[in-house]
Amino acid sequence: MDFNQIIGHEKIIGILKNAIKCNHIFHCYLFAGEESVGKRLVALAFAKALLCKREDVKPCNKCTSCLKFNSFNHPDFELIEPEDGSIPKKRIDDLIKSMAIAPLESKRRIIIIDQCDKMRIEAQNELLKTLEEPPLYVNMILITSNSNGLIPTILSRSQVIKFHPVESKKIVQLLMGEYNKTEEEANFIAHFTKGSVGRSIALSKSPDFFNMREDVLSIIHKVVTGDKMNIMNSVDFFVENKDSIDKIMDIILYWFRDLIIYKEIGDSNLIINKDKIQILSRQSFLNIGRINDIIEYIIKTKDYVKNNVNFQLAIEAMLLKIQEV
């Protein structure tokens, strides 16, 4: 991984490169932002540059340090990730003990803790002791999509860098150029993932995503146009695809969001389901008030599902409400 392989985040990368150039590296960085937006990739590129023997603003990709880093076999680099959904205190205890060992091949030891909010409270408190009196040769990069899951003292002792969604046009160019997506497909994915490069790539590689989207939109069209018998048959689809319910609900939300835009201003670049304009047109008999009520029901259903309310009943109720509103 190298800085020039990262899509977006130019300002953040510039700040990190300048820190390397000026040799003003903070002991602990906290990379915070939405999931899969690029935090981990930037952290890895930054770590690789800090360990590179050339000591430049970007890794040389030729020295033994870079080669070992590429294979995750560098003795002065450690990546910590959750195990079974959490980072236990013992893992942090072991990390702290290992910090007493000076770097073996580089001037620094670089530690990345991904999803650091998954540390239990006792683990966070243990890590805090190290942040208060850090070894001079240790640099940490904490990565989180939920900074509220961290104790305030960790935040106060870290240099916080906030990551924002990547511009849609950059993701569209990536998906069209490297993943053979049409402009309409790439545009839909870029907006659907809200500027997340990682999620956009994952959906582009998924052979089932657009098939699932077709099935969802077909169900919604039948429900909206009054096919009551279809509702009970459609529930089976939601049950069978329960593991993808977040994506399914977002597909539905974006659909009705586009329907409002279509009714207000017609065919527009703001519409992300541009390949479905004809179907949007056929559903434009719905008034704005009804569409807003439908969106409200969908959001409530997302909350019900998240809070483990009876899944099948929640979906049945949502589809009936969409039809009745």
| CA neighbor of 77 nearest in space, from 104, 41, 115, 96 | 104
Instruction: Round to whole Å and give the CA distance between 254 and 142.
Output: 33
The pTM of the full predicted model, rounded to 2 decimals, is: 0.83
Question: How large a percentage of the chain has pLDDT more than 70?
Answer: 98
Q: Do domains 3-162 and 207-324 have the same CATH topology?
A: no
Instruction: Output the pLDDT for position 143.
Output: 96
* Mean pLDDT calculated for residue range 193-202: 91
For the cut 70, the answer to whether the pLDDT of residue 169 exceeds it is yes
Tens of pLDDT, residue by residue over 253-291, are 999 999 999 988 877 778 889 888 888 888 888 889 889
Arch. (CATH architecture) of 3-162: 3-Layer(aba) Sandwich (3.40)
Residue 149 sits at φ, ψ, to 5 deg, of: -85, 0
User: What element of type H or E holds 80?
Assistant: strand 77-80
Q: For the chain, report the end-to-end CA distance as a whole number of angstroms.
A: 51
Instruction: Round to whole Å and give the CA distance between 52 and 146.
Output: 30
Instruction: Output the pLDDT for position 212.
Output: 92
Read out DSSP for 172-199? HHHHHHHS---HHHHHHHHHHTTS-HHH
Residue 183 sits at φ, ψ, to 5 deg, of: -60, -40
Q: Where are the domains of the chain?
A: 3-162, 167-205, 207-324
In this structure, the number of other CB atoms found within 10 A of the CB of residue 67 comes to: 13
Q: How does residue 229 score in pLDDT terms, banded at 50, 70 and 90?
A: low
In this structure, the number of other CB atoms found within 10 A of the CB of residue 226 comes to: 8
Beta strand 109-113 pairing with 77-80? parallel
Q: 207-324: which CATH topology?
A: Zinc Finger, Delta Prime; domain 3 (1.20.272)
Q: How does residue 97 score in pLDDT terms, banded at 50, 70 and 90?
A: confident
In this structure, the number of other CB atoms found within 10 A of the CB of residue 74 comes to: 22
Q: How does residue 16 score in pLDDT terms, banded at 50, 70 and 90?
A: very high
Instruction: Round to whole Å and give the CA distance between 15 and 9.
Output: 10
Instruction: Round to whole Å and give the CA distance between 147 and 215.
Output: 36
Write down the mean pLDDT value for the chain.
89
Tens of pLDDT, residue by residue over 291-306, are 999 999 999 999 988 8
Q: Which residues lie across from 139 on neighbouring strands? A: 110
Instruction: Round to whole Å and give the CA distance between 142 and 280.
Output: 44
Q: How does residue 228 score in pLDDT terms, banded at 50, 70 and 90?
A: low
Q: How does residue 84 score in pLDDT terms, banded at 50, 70 and 90?
A: confident
Instruction: Output the pLDDT for position 325.
Output: 56
